[in-house]
Every structure is written in structure tokens, then in C-alpha cells.
Amino acid sequence: MSKYATQNDDSTEPTIPPTNDHQPNHFLDVDDIGEDGLAEVLSTAAELKQAHYEGESHAVLPNKSLGMLFEKPSTRTRVSFEAGMTQLGGHAVFLGPQNTHLDRGEPVSDTARVLSRYVDAVMARVFDHEAIETMAEYATVPVVNGLSDDAHPCQTLADLFTIYEQFGGFEDVTAAWVGDGNNVAQSFAVGCAMTGVELTMATPEGYEPDEEVLARAAEYSDGEGDAPEVTHDPEEAVTDADVVYTDVWVSMGQEDEREAKLGDFDGYQVNAELLESADDPIVMHCLPAHRGEEITGGVLESESAVVWSQAENRMHTQKALLAHLLDAK
């Protein structure tokens, strides 16, 4: 018997590798963990952040590994997951576009099954949302959507946690989204509905969030949540808002649409004049920001902006998410 093996008197049978019969919990969008799961993750994030600030060890995932698969590059996503996994006592493995066989024709399904034999969870940042769904279908470990063209649920966790910190909860908080009804906006809409944040979204015509996403958000309006309202008037959206949130108008991979979008989004910039209609709001942006386009440098650097806390909270909420998905106690 190997000196590294543990004696088991009941059986000498070898460990059987996992199969596709195992159904792990995945996080492809924010409502995948449900309202109770979301509340638990946000509560755990607060505990982990406090421990981090006090210098207390919180290595609740010792010897666990996270595979990080990137089709799209990112500063915040890579560093927040990698540093966070280290703080949890685990290890993160970075896999960029040149570090896998996906670009050489290997199916996502094959990559998912192989990674499942190596790591305890997979985070993937992809273009096509279908790719993350395929990854989840074939993986036998939890799959986390680090971003897709349809959703950015990890950002929403940080957004909601930031709002919770700023207002001490979600009761009576009103928010305005100004700009493109993109992946960040769509996950944020569902997250606001789940937590009871009243959200109004102002987008140009043709840039509204997907109707299916709005319908999912509306399902929570019968409980504590509120279905988001959509308008084409930025001033109407921000009137008396406690939170004003925007994102870039030209997302990664849309560079050829830049000139057209700059014209379409004329009047949707978050600037000092627009904020006069709001109720002394906090200003949020998921970063990176294009100063002078969707937001002015003056607003981004003002005391109203909480973007740096928002960025930091990616790490704390993602640590809590991983602990939740991997059943850490």
C-alpha cells in the first residue's frame, strides 16, 4: 500500500472518477442560486471582507483548485478570482486563449470534461453565452460565468453588495441604469428584482434589455422584488434615484460599431447635469470606463462615485460564491 494512501478497512476498491451523472450547482446568471442563495452569498461576502480587513485567515477552501478559462481578457476578473482563491487557501489556474485547444478546434464539451478531472470549479469568461451553457452541461464541477455576451452575474454580486454597504440594505432603494441594455444591465436587472431594488432603465431605442430577461426579473415582482421599468428618457430614469449606474457603450468585440453607437447614445452620458435630477446618488460603473463617453471624468472622480469599492467587492463576493458552490463551512 502506498505511504500516501489512507487505510480503509471497508473496501480496497479504487476511487471511481466522476461521471456526467453528477449534477453540480452552476452560476450562469444571478438567479441560478435563488433568493436564499443570493442572500447567503452577500452575507458571507460581508464576513469574508471583514476577515480580510482584520488580517484573519479565512482559508475555507484549502487544496481546492479553480480553472479560469478566458476567451476575453480582463484585469478585474482575473485578479479578483486569482487573489480571492489564494485567500481562500486554494489555487487558481489561468488559461488564456493561447493556453487551451479551444482555438484549435477542441469542442467546449471536451474541455469541460477534461477540466472537471483536474479542478474543483471552472470560471469561464467567453463571448457566446451558449459556450458557457455547454460548459455547464458537460462539466461535473461547478461552472461560474465570469462574463458572456448575455450576462455578467459576478459583476451583479459586487453591485448588489456595494449597494448593501452604502445603504445598509435594499429596502426603499431606487436605481437607474443609463446606457446600453447589455450583459451587465441584464444581470443587474434580475439582481435588483431579486433584492427589491426599484430599477428604471434608460436606453436608446433598439438597445433595450432582452424581453426574456425582463420577464425573468418580473417573476420576482410578486414577492419582495420589483420588475424593472424601461424608458428612453435618461432624466426620467434618474429622477430621485439613489443609485445611478452606467457602462461602456462599445463593449469588447463591438469595435466596428463604435461610430454608430456614439451617435445612438448621444444624450445618455452620465454627467453633472444629468445627476441634478437624482437624489444625491451614488454613481456606479463596472469598469473599464471611457471618460468623456458614457461618463465624464468629473463624475467618475467625484465623491459620489463608488466604483473602486465596487471593483474591490468583485473579489469578496466571488470568494463567497465559490464557498457557496463548493459547500465550504
- The one catalytic residue in 31, 150, 180, 247 is 247
Based on the residue annotation, tell me whether 247 is a catalytic residue of this protein.
yes
199 and 227 in contact (C-beta within 8 Å)?
no
Question: What DSSP designation does 155 have?
Answer: H
| Distant-in-sequence contacts of 45-51, Cβ < 8 A, 24+ apart | 45/157, 45/161, 45/313, 45/316, 45/317, 45/319, 45/320, 46/161, 46/164, 46/165, 46/316, 48/316, 48/319, 48/320, 48/323, 49/313, 49/316
> Which residues on adjacent β-strands are paired with residue 202?
178, 231
- The one catalytic residue in 78, 152, 285, 324 is 152
272 and 301 in contact (C-beta within 8 Å)?
no
With a CB cutoff of 8 Å and minimum separation 6, the contacts of 309 are 162, 165
> Which residues on adjacent β-strands are paired with residue 229?
200
Based on the residue annotation, tell me whether 50 is a catalytic residue of this protein.
no
- The one catalytic residue in 155, 269, 310, 318 is 155
CA distance 48 to 30: 20
User: Residue 178 burial by CB count (10 A; 0-12/13-18/19+): exposed, middle or buried?
Assistant: buried
Based on the residue annotation, tell me whether 110 is a catalytic residue of this protein.
no
- The one catalytic residue in 314, 316, 318, 324 is 314
**Cis amide leading into 288 (omega within 30):** yes
Q: In this structure, how many other beta carbons lie within 10 angstroms of the beta carbon of residue 261?
A: 18
- The one catalytic residue in 58, 76, 216, 286 is 286
- The one catalytic residue in 26, 58, 76, 125 is 125
What does the DSSP assignment read for 286-310?
A: -S---BTTTB-HHHHTSTTB-HHHH
- Tell me the one-letter amino acid at 32: D
Going by C-alpha positions, the residue among 222, 160, 211, 167 that lies closest to residue 186 is 211
CA distance 235 to 278: 8
> Annotated active-site positions, please?
125, 152, 155, 247, 286, 314
